[in-house]
Structure 1
Amino acid sequence: MGSAAEDAARGRGVARELVYGNTALVAGLLVGNGPEAWIAFDREVRRLQRFPGVSTGRLEARLCHPDGRIRAKALAAWRNPPAELVLIRCADWAPQVRERARRVLGRVLAHHPVRTRDRARRALNRPVADDPALVLAALTPLTLRLGGREHGGWAVDQLEAALAGRYSSLAAWWRPGLPSTTWSWNSLTPGQRAGMLERLGRSTDLPTRRFAARVALAAGRYGAQELALRAAAEPDPAAGRLWTDAALAAMAADGPDDAVVDALLASRFPPVRAAGVTALRRAGRAAEAERFLADRAGSVRACARWLLRQDGGDPYARYRALLADPERVSGYAVAGFTEVAGPDDVPVLRGLLEHRDGTVRAAALAGLRRFGAEVADPVLLALLEGPSASAAREAALHLMPVARRLDAAALAARTGREWRPHTRRAAFRLLQGRGGSAELRASVALLDHPDPGTRRCARQRVAGWNWLATLDEGAAAQAELGGLLARAADLLGALELRLAHAPGDLPGRAPRP
């Protein structure tokens, strides 16, 4: 499955192949693509069939036809089209089409194979009457996308009902031990529902993960510790928030649980860690808040400071102690200190500009910039040339407002290949801040730079350059401009070099009459 845009492009391409006479199986061509592929396929087939003389007898094309009567007749055929298209028709704007689609959906699902590109899973390419959870899981992303339509809520309701063990048209065709041609009803077994939720919860489709989390939480399937572990492991912030809130609610109902708190604190996701820090108070472990004062996430640091104050502590004093200890100070500790410090603490931050750790120097620079404190140009230029990329970025931000007073030749020299990449990038940003011919010279010089980001930025600047404005800088700039333009044309080409003014206005050309 690719991105949504790639899937949609794939769906439109398959639609054109279908309408213009390709006889390949549509479902086979869309294997491995996301729900956007099927939605785009439906829309493109309908659009193409609006043109005079464009029509096809293929069942898939008739299911997507602009005329609702043709769509309804296609649903009445006994042949089994892709279940995805029938599911889309269940949200059709025409009542007779969607009602018929909802009646025949069970029959279509009974003969719907689970298709996959994975050769190791060829055994799954069979009717799913013996494994309904598999096909329902495969259709869930499309079902959730359709849920946003005016009549799309029906399929989502049916999916939730199937997962809850209630009657559902999505599973009304299945019963263990009976042939796949037997239409009957039996709810999914608890094991099947649990397996399906686990499968949906591991999906790479974010709406599907969130749906699975909501359904699992509504069913009350997990205890507080399991909820905390899932919150800590969940990479999606929205789903992680659901698991975290549920874990906190379970602790509020059952009482503090150290294992739950520890699981939340161990998460690498800031919102989950922040919830764990807040939970320390109810667990009687407020003293542990100090070790989160230097957390990498600002939200976690803020929760730690709040908890420390609730416990009678002083975050400012703790931060000063951290900064005074060379072995414990870190860039995040400095960042936390600036969040509680004031202008009177500028000397403390200045003293950290010579620290051996580049992240500490960068955080100190960020704090000084926050308080509007000036730093001498030689100090900033030295940091620009230093080994720390983060410190160089902060130094460039300090120098940007005063870039015009810097030596353009010295900055241009720092864009040479003998300098570190972060130094070259910072110097180029400062030359961009200067503007004029200094920026143009540096941009042209960097058109073939080995660093992709620098090269891309230089090409964008040169491609949109206002060459006439540069002529106003004097005779020296005019004599140089022709050479710069020639080099830019050689490296970019005439098509990419979009000249905003006629060539007659440039040096070496006759002026326009």
Structure 2
Amino acid sequence: MTGEETPRDAVLRGLAHGRRLTDVVDVWSPEGWLDVDQRVRNAYRRCEPGLPRHDWLTTAGPHTPAPTDGRLLLALCTSDGRIREAALAHAADRPVFLPLIALRTADWAGPVRERTRAVLAAALPGAEAGTLRLAVPVILRGRHRERGNAAFRMLEETLATAPPEVIHALFRVRDRATRLFALDLALDRGLYTIEELARIAAEDVHVGIRDRASTAVLAAGAPGESLGPLLASTCGRVRSAGVTALRKTGRTAEAEAFLFDRSGLVRACARWALRQDGRDPLPLYRAACADPATVPDHAPFALAECGDRATDLPVLWELTGHERPRVRASAVAGLRRFDVADLARLLPFLDDPSPRVVWEASRTLSVWADRLPEAELLRRTGPGRPAHVRARALQLLGAAGSAAYGETAGRLAEDPDPELRSRLRYMRVRPRTSSHVLVSPCVPPRPRRGNTRPGAAPAPQNGRHG
């Protein structure tokens, strides 16, 4: 036995001597059940010392005492199919083992499979909500296994007529797949009002659930009282659904306020709504960007999304000197949208005091990283520069495949500035000696040339400004 295996196997052996089940298994996590099932099976196959044999299960009589939860778990997961089958008689009336019973419905041994399916078919219809909250996440994971769909079909049949409170209880578990499954069941059975769905779409922590709920609100006609939560949501996809619904409810004029939303998807939906109403959003963008005192933060990039390069590019250049960092950053992002290649004017944006502006500048310059003066980038990695400037300059050195990147990355990784080291870790910067170009999640791929037409309205981008 290796030193790495000893702690795990000691925990398993502890089950045979009274260790609590919850000390070994995270019963609320499907991965916890799958993991302990595999661990026990492997331990028995390796004949690890100290694990019980369970021979008594195959020869048990009417007066044989019931096994403890720990010994029963080991028996249900052991590598001997006869033991697994015999253990089912003791597990059928213990709700906590319903997840393992569900796993055994896909067992490789036919007799175990058949008996387990009979046990599960009898247990599911009368199972309490708390028991189902344990078992459903495991059943959803197991359905993708070979022969694993039987338990899922039984579950569908059970929940098709289950009381509404059971479905609501499943929606409150922490497992996202289970919550999506429960939401679909609730939608099929009409268990949520439009107002409740709008609240889920606006407030839920999972984007997929928000998206599903907002789609259901739109499909139901999106009555006016349900749009408030959608339009106020922090999720761009949900806000976009609300903006789309404004036109369906005769409130298209309200979409104008979302022309300057931080989400590119929301802005695109707002433009669509106005155009469907016969209004051109471009003059509204130009008017918003014409007054520096009142220009919205994301208006410059929004102007670039549907504007004309010849007419609107000078406005963006002017707004790169705006006093508000968000406006400056949006203007620099707009220059990238217009495929501006004036490196002499773009390079100074790397010195901006705002990390947001420097981030946009590095994204814009990364397209032409191999044309940037190496000396200028190296100078910006030196001491005395702000951490965000040094980190982005190093990133551009890597994107350019500079021979100086490896040495510079090593020097900055040991810099006394904790903020700089933190930024490098976030950017996944590692010192290297090869000339392979740095791959960073913050550097976009080089776009194709010649596909930007003046006056065209490129597809909206989701990002800090798109």
What's 1:380 paired with? 346
Total equivalences in the alignment:
406
Q: What whole-Å deviation, never above 9, does each CA across 1:231-272 have from its counterpart, x for those lacking one?
A: 222232322232222222222xxxx62111222212221222
Cα distance in 1, alignment partners of residues 309 and 92 from structure 2: 77
CA RMSD across the alignment? 3.4
2:44 aligned with 1:49, yes or no?
A: yes
Match of 1:63 in 2: 76
Q: Please tell me whether the aligned partners of residues 444 and 458 of structure 1 are also in contact (alpha carbons under 8 angstroms).
A: no
Paired position in structure 1 for 2:19: 25
Alignment of 1:432-443 (within 5 A): 432-433=398-399, 435-436=401-402, 438-443=404-409
Q: Which AA in structure 2 matches 1:430?
A: L
- CA displacement, residues 377-408 of structure 1 (integer Å, 9 cap, x when unaligned): 2x434322222112112323444425665262
Deviations 1:164-183 (A, max 9, x none): 446xxxxxxxxxxxxxxxxx
Distance 1:150 1:398, change over 3 A: closer
| 1:364-443 matched pairs, under 5 angstroms | 364-375=331-342, 377=344, 379-400=345-366, 401=368, 406=373, 408=375, 411-433=377-399, 435-436=401-402, 438-443=404-409
The 1:40–1:11 alpha-carbon spacing in structure 2 relative to 1, beyond 3 Å, is farther
- Separation in structure 1 between the aligned mates of residue 363 and residue 395 of structure 2, nearest angstrom: 9
Paired with 1:305 and 1:458, the residues of 2 have a C-alpha distance of: 35
Q: Deviations over 1:297-338 (max 9, x none)?
A: 111111111110111101111111111132432342222211
Greater Cα offset, 32-41 or 315-324: 32-41
**Measured at CA, do residues 259 and 21 of structure 1 come closer, stay the same or move farther in structure 2, by a change above 3 Å?**
closer
Question: CA distance change for structure 1 residues 18 and 441 in 2, over 3 Å: closer, same or farther?
Answer: closer
TM-score, with structure 1 as normaliser: 0.70
Question: What is the aligned partner in structure 1 of residue 33 from structure 2?
Answer: 38
Q: Bigger relative contact order, structure 1 or 2, given CA contacts below 8 A and separation 6+?
A: 2
Gaps of 5+ in 1: 1-9, 111-128, 167-189, 468-513
Task: Name the CA distance, whole Å, in 1 between partners of 2:214 and 2:269.
Answer: 15
- The amino acid that maps onto 2:326 is T
Aligned equivalents of 2:26, 2:374: Cα separation in 1: 59
Aligned partners of 1:271 and 1:300 also within 8 Å: yes
Query: What's the secondary structure of 1:225's corresponding residue?
Result: helix
Q: Gaps spanning 5+ residues in structure 2: where? A: 54-70, 436-466
Aligned pair in 2 of structure 1 residues 306, 405: CA closer, same or farther (>3 Å)?
closer
What SS class does the counterpart of residue 203 from structure 1 fall into?
coil
Which amino acid in the other structure matches residue 340 of structure 2?
A
Tell me which residue corresponds to 1:353: 320
2:98–2:134 Cα contact (<8 Å) kept: no
Judge conservation of contact 2:124–2:155 (CA < 8 Å) in 1. no
> Does the 8 Å CA contact 2:72/2:91 hold for their aligned counterparts?
no
Q: Is the 8 A contact 1:352 1:361 kept in 2?
A: yes
SS at 2:45 equivalent: coil
1:77 to 1:34, Cα distance in 2 relative to 1, 3 A: closer
Matched AA of 2:190: G
Separation in structure 2 between the aligned mates of residue 311 and residue 290 of structure 1, nearest angstrom: 11
Give 1:445 shift. 2.1
For the 8 Å contact 1:359–1:390, the answer to whether it is kept is yes
Taking a change above 3 Å as real, the CA distance of residues 459 and 157 of structure 1, as seen in their structure-2 partners, is closer
TM-superposed CA distance for 1:349, in Å, is 1.5
Instruction: Give the Cα separation in 1 of the matches to 2:371 and 2:272.
Output: 43
Taking the aligned partners of 2:372 and 2:100, their CA distance within structure 1 comes to 65
Within 2, Cα distance between the matches of 1:12 and 1:206?
33
How far residue 225 of structure 1 moved from its aligned partner, in angstroms, is 2.0
Q: Is the 8 A contact 2:377 2:396 kept in 1?
A: yes
Which is worse superposed, 157-166 or 33-42?
157-166
Partner-residue secondary structure (3-state), 1:351: helix
CA apart distance, 1:367: 2.1
**CA–CA distance in 1 between the matches of 2:428 and 2:280?**
52
Is residue 2:356 matched to residue 1:362?
A: no
Q: Deviations over 1:196-245 (max 9, x none)?
A: 33332232211011011011112212222222222222232322232222
Judged with a 3 Å threshold, the aligned counterparts in structure 2 of structure 1 residues 452 and 283 are, in CA distance, closer, same or farther, namely same
Question: Is the counterpart of residue 96 in structure 1 residue 96 in structure 2?
Answer: no
Which residue of 1 is the match for residue 233 of structure 2? Answer: 267
Which residue number corresponds to residue 326 of structure 1?
292
Query: How far apart, in 1, do the equivalents of 2:9 and 2:251 lie?
Result: 61
Higher CA-based Rg: 1
Per mean C-alpha deviation after superposition, the further-off stretch among 444-453 and 257-266 is: 444-453
CA–CA distance in 2 between the matches of 1:257 and 1:80?
48
CA distance in 2, matches of 1:442, 1:457: 17
Matched-pair contact (CA < 8 Å) for 2:256–2:274: yes
Asked whether 1:301 is paired with 2:301, we answer: no
Distance 1:106 1:417, change over 3 A: farther
Aligned to 1:342: 308
Percent identity reads 39
